[in-house]
Amino acid sequence: MKIATETRLGFNEHYKVAQLPPRHSVSPNMFTKTLRGVLCLCALGTIFSAPPAVLAQSSYKICVPHNLQKACEDLMGSKSNEDVTIECVPGRDRMECLNLVNKRKADFMAVDPEDMYVAYKMNNQDFAVFSEIRTLEEPQAEFRYEGIMLVRKGSPIASLNDLQGKKSCHTGYGRTVGYKVPITKLRKHGIFKLDSDPTLPAVERELKGLSNLFSQSCLVGTYSPNDEINRSLKKKYPNLCALCEDPAKCDYPDKYSGYEGAIRCLVENGGDVAFTKVIFVNKYFGLPVGNNPAAPATGTANPDDYEYLCEDGSRRPVTGRACSWAQRPWQGYMANGDLRGRYAKLQEVLKEAYEAGKTYSNTDLAKRMLVKKDNVVVSKDDPVLPGEHLTRAQYKDVIARPGPYEHTTRFCVSDTIALRKCEVMRKAAFSRYIRPQFQCLLKSVEECAEAVQKDEADVVVFRSEEYEIARKHNLGAVLYESSEANDVFVAVVNKDIKMDLLKKATLNFNSNDPRAVNAALFFNEKRGIKSCPGDISSTDNGLVKIVKAKDLKDDGDQELICQDLSRKSLQDYKDCNFEATLPTAVFVRNALDSNILDGIIHSFSEASEDFGKNAPTEDVFELFGEFEPGFRNVIFSDDAVKLVTSSNAISTFDETHYNKLRCISE
């Protein structure tokens, strides 16, 4: 692949200009005059030393999450057009790529509609969606899908108000067209209302509101990540599961769930209204889909017996154009304003590279580059601003829906780098429907603890060495970092080391890593040596190595020392380690209102599920990992995997023991 190396000149094209002296050897004014002179000569047709092929060359920079750079280079290098070069610029994640594109350090990037929303909030006028990634099935469709209401022809539902007391069929709990869109629109029209009982958790108020609106429903899914609460909610609101194939389970798989299942629920199981997608209505009734002719119906009903219910209460036949509540835009490619007028070449090259990417050996990486075999890149004749695009799709208010929580999570951080990360997290979380939304506050560590205690903030994240501050201000931990199973510190020695030598052997550990120091202190305690952080030392040739289990290399000559000083193989690190660090935790004030607490746990848990290690949208925002070059462990630990509601299962170390090891007086 060709990599663009020319200096950015601030014009609409990049040029390699021959016979100019190096930039550092001339003044800016001299360089500008020289450049203008060369460009004027070029405009007059004057021949100079750069060959014509170079002059015609166009250069573009695509920003991708850093762990996709190699895949990007492979995919963008697969094109045949040698007159166009595409350089892959790595960003931390898509949130940073938006900044790099906006700041002209990259030209464009691949985006979801939610990323378009962030761009709209950042600098809408300076972004444009110029190509879309559509399905081969519907390459001419303006939007990825259209959320609709399907009813029986001749049913008494003549307005949205008539939905009160009817039987509803949904794709599933929390899903976009079957849950988020109808709740957003019905709430906007005053048909759906959150239950007013302030003692109920926010999520339950939303479920109770649905239970009050519809007499019976099929709404499968997980209402709460807590199994007991999930079962309790389904038992408390059984009408929400009454139309399902298995009302007692009310979970996937279910005959009456999903896009087509919601239609079956209406047609076969007594529902009055179904919330689903247009494309599945067409497939169910055997109607044409996109450019494809009518195919055999997947259902048995007559399409003439069903209609779309429009937002204004009017009806449309399913055999004609649908009236949708909201449309989800396609994924696509979005650029900054400097690409205006020079999209054409890039659009064609992207089509070619995308098609070649369908045969890429690593399908997972290709998918993360938004490359799928059943998709195709379609150029937009008129690139559109992200805000206008989302407004036309009626999707902006779906993203911005308040959700069941009526408060914000005030998140206090203690330095400017952490504040920047909190702000990025806030934007990413809001665009991905995580509620309640975050509000970021900047104070010192001690001031954050005091602010949470005084109800001037809701939450603060503390590392193990800061637990003492939390206790002083009567704060309690509600979520903890969890690590990979092999991310624990172990003590390693050669097999020929005898017990008498082991008890006095020197140590080798990273004295700059607090976790390694804690493990070394713990090892000393177990072999009867009292030491404190300031007086324990490491030597390069120490006989006992304190290292992470994931960094071990089994050469056959080493074994682990366990806490009782027995020996085990290197594979037994789960039961034989010296991990002695308390996990970084999310702290709140004690005796917090249950609804506020529920919101805090929900927002952080959702952020972890979406943005944690190997999460579905980790490429959108890396919750864990180096935030900025040289700044590690910002807010959360770089090596953490997710947040959990109970203490890290790997580290069962207690706070009293930790303080004793660290020589902290009680």
- Model pLDDT for residues 570-627, shown as the tens digit of each residue: 999 999 999 999 999 999 999 898 889 989 999 999 999 999 999 999 999 999 999 9
d(CA 300, CA 279): 17
In this prediction, residue 299 carries a pLDDT of: 87
d(CA 223, CA 172): 10
In this prediction, residue 648 carries a pLDDT of: 53
Higher pLDDT, 175 or 293: 175
In this prediction, residue 595 carries a pLDDT of: 86
Q: Exposed, middle or buried, 486 (CB in 10 Å: 0-12/13-18/19+)?
A: middle
In this prediction, residue 373 carries a pLDDT of: 96
Whether 36 has a pLDDT exceeding 50, the answer reads no
| Structure-token pair, residue 35 | 């450049």
Higher pLDDT, 19 or 384: 384
Higher pLDDT, 44 or 263: 263
Mean pLDDT of 111-118: 98
d(CA 613, CA 627): 14
pLDDT band at 666 (very low <50, low <70, confident <90, very high): low
Whether 4 has a pLDDT exceeding 50, the answer reads no
Higher pLDDT, 415 or 226: 415
d(CA 133, CA 121): 23
Helical residues (DSSP H) of 358-478, grouped into ranges: 363-368, 386-392, 396-399, 416-431, 445-453, 467-472
Mean pLDDT (the chain, rounded) = 89
For the chain, give the number of residues: 666
In this prediction, residue 196 carries a pLDDT of: 86
The two beta strands, 459-462 and 409-413, are: parallel
**Could you tell me if 217 and 170 are in contact, meaning their C-beta atoms sit under 8 angstroms apart?**
yes
Whether 60 has a pLDDT exceeding 90, the answer reads yes
pLDDT band at 403 (very low <50, low <70, confident <90, very high): confident
Cis bond before residue 253 (omega within 30° of 0) = yes
d(CA 96, CA 428): 11
Mean pLDDT of 451-460: 98
pLDDT band at 117 (very low <50, low <70, confident <90, very high): very high
The two beta strands, 544-548 and 475-483, are: unpaired
**Could you tell me if 137 and 292 are in contact, meaning their C-beta atoms sit under 8 angstroms apart?**
yes
Percent of the chain residues past pLDDT 90, beyond the cut:
81
| Structure-token pair, residue 147 | 């959320």
Least confident of 20-24, 35-39, 54-58, 549-553: 20-24
Helical residues (DSSP H) of 140-295, grouped into ranges: 181-188, 202-213, 227-236, 258-268, 278-285
d(CA 450, CA 455): 9
Mean pLDDT of 286-301: 86
The DSSP bridge partners found for residue 149 are 275
**530 contacts: CB under 8 Å, gap ≥ 6:** 524
Q: The whole model's pTM is what? A: 0.86
In this prediction, residue 652 carries a pLDDT of: 60
In this prediction, residue 364 carries a pLDDT of: 95
pLDDT tens figures, 154-193: 999 999 999 999 999 999 999 999 999 999 999 999 999 9
**H or E, element range at 29:** helix 28-43
In this prediction, residue 333 carries a pLDDT of: 98
In this prediction, residue 451 carries a pLDDT of: 98
Whether 358 has a pLDDT exceeding 90, the answer reads yes
| Closest to 209 measured CA to CA, from 58, 374, 406 | 406
Whether 394 has a pLDDT exceeding 50, the answer reads yes
pLDDT tens figures, 300-347: 899 999 999 999 999 999 999 999 989 999 999 999 999 998 999 999
| Closest to 59 measured CA to CA, from 97, 9, 23, 102 | 9
pLDDT band at 651 (very low <50, low <70, confident <90, very high): low
**Could you tell me if 507 and 542 are in contact, meaning their C-beta atoms sit under 8 angstroms apart?**
yes
Q: What are phi and psi of 571, to 5 degrees?
A: -80, -10
Cis bond before residue 303 (omega within 30° of 0) = no
In this prediction, residue 591 carries a pLDDT of: 87
In this prediction, residue 32 carries a pLDDT of: 39
Q: Three-state SS for 491?
A: strand
Whether 81 has a pLDDT exceeding 50, the answer reads yes
CA distances from 412 to 39, 407, 418, 445 (A): 53, 16, 9, 9
pLDDT band at 82 (very low <50, low <70, confident <90, very high): confident
pLDDT band at 226 (very low <50, low <70, confident <90, very high): confident
pLDDT band at 121 (very low <50, low <70, confident <90, very high): very high
Mean pLDDT of 42-48: 35
**522 contacts: CB under 8 Å, gap ≥ 6:** 563, 578, 580, 661
| Closest to 466 measured CA to CA, from 661, 630, 658 | 658
In this prediction, residue 480 carries a pLDDT of: 95
Q: Exposed, middle or buried, 664 (CB in 10 Å: 0-12/13-18/19+)?
A: middle
Higher pLDDT, 25 or 210: 210
Q: Which amino acid is at 158?
A: A
| Structure-token pair, residue 547 | 């290292």
